């Protein structure tokens, strides 16, 4: 077989028969040397490739680590900001409850404190955990957004209630129509000065000189302005929420039927027209058609009329 044979290599110069060098070759030895050489270069090439690959991979890993450190820093910053915002939001809720109490609305429940999930050491964080942290942030942002929307709706309800209460105050008779005038006759049963009989007196009489200004006790619309029998010159004003006020025995009326007026507007002057013993204002309040004692409304604080 060829593997056991030996070969001789002879070298001759050109145009000469004289031998320069003679080599004896063993095929088995040549094959072995070739394989050893290939193996050597293969090992060296593999080591070189792995070194170069690891060199560039380390650079890539370093960049990824730096990016991760920034992400962790941003996560902690957002997480801290969320906790700070929720603290401020809790203070807003506290003030909201104070407003709710002022307008007689039920209080809202307290906000649970936000537990911060802070990353302290990047080495302690597995790459698989990053999606979990991201989801946590998104859930907290979503919950915070819902709380903000709910608070917006709460403030709108409070605002509507404030507007309603302001309207109630404006349309509730709550001032003395003749400031600093003395009451000469009260609401209830009394002896009629003309007949001597006991009769129901459905208002208050304010004694004041003729020409004393008379002011509307609430916002409303004039439903009558003119002469009305025993009441003389008479004004009736219809207000919201079932209220109605009347002013009798005026010397002069300054308003017309259908006219809209505001609380404290000048509507006329004290007189003695109609069935009267002297200059005074007869003042009545009705609620849903039923006479009320005006004394319960005159001089009352407006805050007493801020709820239904």
pLDDT tens digits for 9-30? 555 566 656 555 555 555 566 6
Tokens of 90: 């809790």
Domain presence at residue 246 = yes
Q: What residue numbers bound the domain in which 203 lies?
A: 182-305
Output the domain CATH number for residue 191: 2.70.70.10
Instruction: Mark whether 167 and 84 lie in a shared domain.
Output: yes
Question: β-strand 280-287 against 290-292: which pairing, if any?
Answer: antiparallel
Instruction: Mark whether 167 and 189 lie in a shared domain.
Output: no
Domain presence at residue 41 = no
| Residue 213: Cβ-neighbour burial (10 angstroms; 0-12, 13-18, 19+) | middle
pLDDT at 114 over 60: no
What does the pLDDT look like over 148-169, one tens digit per residue?
777 777 777 777 777 788 888 8
Domain presence at residue 8 = no
Q: What is the mean pLDDT of residues 267-296?
A: 94
Nearest to 75 by CA among 117, 22, 40: 117
14-18, 261-265, 303-307: least confident range: 303-307
Of 145, 171, 197, which residue is a domain's last? Answer: 171
Of 121, 139, 171, which residue is a domain's last? Answer: 171
pLDDT at 53 over 70: no
Of 125, 144, 171, which residue is a domain's last? Answer: 171
Instruction: Mark whether 167 and 234 lie in a shared domain.
Output: no
213: left (phi over 0), alpha (psi -120 to 50) or beta: beta
Instruction: Mark whether 258 and 287 lie in a shared domain.
Output: yes
Number of separate domains in the chain:
2
The C-alpha atoms of residue 299 and residue 146 are separated, in whole angstroms, by 45
Tokens of 219: 């916002």
Handedness of CA 199, 202, 206, 211 (dihedral sign): negative
**pLDDT-derived band at 299, boundaries 50, 70, 90:** low
Tokens of 72: 């962790």
pTM for this model (two decimals): 0.56
Domain presence at residue 22 = no
Instruction: Mark whether 190 and 293 lie in a shared domain.
Output: yes
Instruction: Mark whether 188 and 167 lie in a shared domain.
Output: no
Domain presence at residue 241 = yes
Instruction: Mark whether 65 and 158 lie in a shared domain.
Output: yes
Q: What is the largest CA-CA distance in the chain?
A: 176
Question: β-strand 233-238 against 243-253: which pairing, if any?
Answer: antiparallel
The C-alpha atoms of residue 154 and residue 95 are separated, in whole angstroms, by 12
């Amino acid at each position: 077989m060829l593997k056991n044979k030996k070969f001789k290599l002879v070298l001759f110069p050109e145009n000469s028969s004289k031998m320069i060098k003679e080599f004896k070759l063993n095929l088995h030895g040549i094959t072995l040397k070739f394989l050893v050489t290939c193996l050597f270069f293969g090992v060296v090439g593999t080591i070189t490739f792995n070194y170069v690959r690891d060199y560039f991979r380390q650079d890539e890993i370093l960049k990824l680590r730096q990016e991760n450190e920034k992400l962790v820093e941003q996560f902690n910053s957002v997480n801290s900001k969320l906790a700070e915002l929720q603290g401020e939001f809790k203070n807003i809720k506290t003030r909201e409850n104070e407003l709710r109490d002022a307008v007689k609305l039920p209080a809202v429940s307290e906000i649970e404190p936000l537990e911060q999930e802070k990353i302290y050491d990047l080495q302690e964080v597995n790459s698989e955990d990053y999606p979990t942290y991201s989801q946590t942030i998104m859930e907290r942002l979503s919950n915070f957004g819902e709380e903000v929307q709910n608070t917006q709706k709460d403030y709108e309800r409070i605002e509507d209630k404030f507007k309603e209460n302001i309207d109630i105050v404006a349309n509730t008779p709550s001032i003395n129509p003749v400031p600093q005038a003395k009451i000469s006759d009260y609401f209830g049963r009394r002896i009629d000065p003309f007949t001597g009989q006991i009769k129901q007196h459905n208002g208050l009489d304010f004694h004041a000189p003729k020409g004393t200004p008379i002011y509307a006790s609430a916002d409303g619309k004039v439903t009558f302005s003119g002469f009305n029998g025993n009441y003389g010159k008479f004004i009736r004003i219809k207000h919201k929420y079932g209220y109605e006020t009347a002013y009798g025995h005026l010397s002069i009326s300054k308003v017309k039927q259908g006219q809209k007026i505001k609380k404290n507007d000048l509507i006329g002057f004290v007189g003695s027209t109609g069935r009267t013993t002297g200059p005074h204002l007869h003042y009545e309040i009705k609620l849903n058609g039923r006479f009320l004692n005006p004394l319960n409304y005159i001089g009352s604080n407006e805050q007493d009329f801020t709820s239904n």
